[in-house]
Copies of this chain bind each other. A is one copy, B any other.
């Protein structure tokens, strides 16, 4: 199978080459300002080649998003394999999420861009379906960590895990969004002085989710 194997490997390489270029370009110029030509040029490939690997621009975007999710899920698995308590695992998961989404080039942009049209994802696209199931999996993983934390006492047990997960998830996204917003403001805006670090938001909320010391064990 060596020939077929090589073929397969080369095809995979090309695909990744394109995805990397797309990630870079989409994130840099924004989804609708990025052109297929930009991507092809940056990937050092012909424009037509892109269409051998992706049906259209939308599917290419989905491919990028799925790629990001995959590496994120891989990192999630690492975290889950560790021996931290639930709270710490949760913190680590969220940080991994924030990092993957926000590392330049800002992957977060890609995801958000797509949400803005309000059109449901095209279920016919392979990557689109993969992307949706990945979202569910990411969310479920976070919920799992919360439940673990509640079981091992590192997190308040009174919050439904999905509610808690959602709060954390949205808080992180809000922080990431702020960083995009900040870029559009002039340097002298009062909002420009904030770091908007996701880790701070995570820590703050996690703090609120820790069990209240049975205060007032009070005599």
Q: Is the CB of A170 within 8 A of B196?
A: yes
Q: Does A115 contact B (CB under 8 A)?
A: yes
Q: Does A29 contact B (CB under 8 A)?
A: yes
Nearest-neighbor residue (CB-CB) of A175 within chain B: B170
Q: A190-B140, A191-B135, A207-B208 are in contact. Are A115 and B177 (CB under 8 A)?
A: yes
- List, in ascending order, chain B residues with CB within 8 A of A29's CB: 117-118
Q: Does A2 contact B (CB under 8 A)?
A: no
Report A3-47 residues with CB < 8 Å from chain B CB. Answer: 28-33
- List, in ascending order, chain B residues with CB within 8 A of A112's CB: 112, 116, 177, 180
- Closest CB of chain B to A9's CB: distance in Å? 21
Q: Is the CB of B180 within 8 A of A173?
A: no
Interface string of A105-128 (1 = CB under 8 A from B): 010010111111111110100000
- Closest CB of chain B to A13's CB: distance in Å? 22
- List, in ascending order, chain B residues with CB within 8 A of A208's CB: 204-205, 207-208
Interface string of A74-89 (1 = CB under 8 A from B): 0000000000000000
Report A96-112 residues with CB < 8 Å from chain B CB. Answer: 106, 109, 111-112
Q: A177-B173, A204-B167 are in contact. Are A185 and B120 (CB under 8 A)?
A: yes
Report A113-150 residues with CB < 8 Å from chain B CB. Answer: 113-121, 123, 132, 135-136, 139-140
Q: Does A48 contact B (CB under 8 A)?
A: no
- List, in ascending order, chain B residues with CB within 8 A of A123's CB: 186
The 5 A-B pairs of least Cβ separation, nearest first, read A174-B174, A216-B216, A208-B208, A170-B174, A215-B215
In the assembled complex, 27 residue pairs joining A and B whose CB atoms fall closer than 8 Å, in A order, are A29-B118, A30-B116, A31-B116, A109-B118, A112-B112, A112-B116, A114-B184, A115-B177, A115-B184, A118-B183, A119-B184, A120-B186, A121-B186, A139-B191, A163-B200, A166-B178, A166-B194, A166-B196, A170-B196, A170-B201, A171-B171, A171-B174, A172-B174, A173-B173, A174-B174, A208-B208, A213-B215
